[in-house]
Amino acid sequence: MTKIGILGAAGRMGQMIAKEILSGAYDGAVLAAAGEHAESTALGRDIGALCGFGDCGVKITADSAAVFAACDVLIDFTTPAATMENAAAAHASGKALVIGTTGLGAVEDAAITSAATRAAVLQAANMSVGVNVLLSIVEQLSARLGPKEFDIEIFEAHHKHKVDAPSGTALALAEAAAKGRGVSLDSAMVPARYGQIGPRPEGAIGMSVFRGGDVIGDHTVTFAALGERIEIGHRASDRALFARGAVRAALWLAGKPAGRYTMRDVLGL
């Protein structure tokens, strides 16, 4: 049996992940612990009851050390600051950690890399199986559709409450496009346009962002040339797909040697 803990258990994604594990749909998966920050109003509550599943005997706690000690693998959907703390705990304990937190920067990335020297750590901007297949396709297309002929534009849309932009998934798609072309994203990305910007630079990877309503997550990558366009994308209509991907990743990661992994490793891409 694989003992799974949830960090950020009272959040929207945390509750969805709890439901997935408690559903019994995953052979060998056991919900062993649920963690939250010290000011959470959910502390002391049964995570099963909180997510509408019914009491499961796992109380939400702010004792991070106890959560890590009780589990084989942890799933983290928290905040960048909390993810850094959880990465440090993974480094100290050697426990496997799946990170789905978005809005991470260079500092958080360095903390994850450090944790991976002593623990198996999987970090993905998007836990969707479909999105990760899309990342692979974008990299392959970018390698074959040259910058002299094809311009690349990425569009992403999310609900009005999302606080970071562009989304982690959009940035991952841009990274895949840049990797396919053998360039750095920093040198190629154009994240916004306004005013007299002049003609499009050759090889630019454009990015545009929409925020509004209750959009769960739409991503489209367009390869535009003279006389033709290729458009590929992904639309999420149910957040549960991210929870399913996270549980799949946790079961795959448990028992793996220390190192840094991605969903593409899980899917064999």
Instruction: Single out the catalytic residue among 37, 162, 179, 256.
Output: 162
Residues 108-137: b if buried by 16+ CB within 10 A, e if exposed: beebbebbbeebbbbbbbbbbbebbebbee
Contact residues for 163 (Cβ-Cβ < 8 A; gap 6+): 103
Residue with tokens 């945390």: 14
Instruction: Single out the catalytic residue among 95, 158, 219, 234.
Output: 158
**Under 8 Å between Cβ of 209 and 166:** yes
19 is catalytic: no
| Nearest CA among 249, 266, 258, 264 for reference residue 26 | 249
Beta strands 205-211 and 189-190 are: parallel
Question: Which residues are marked as active site?
Answer: 158, 162
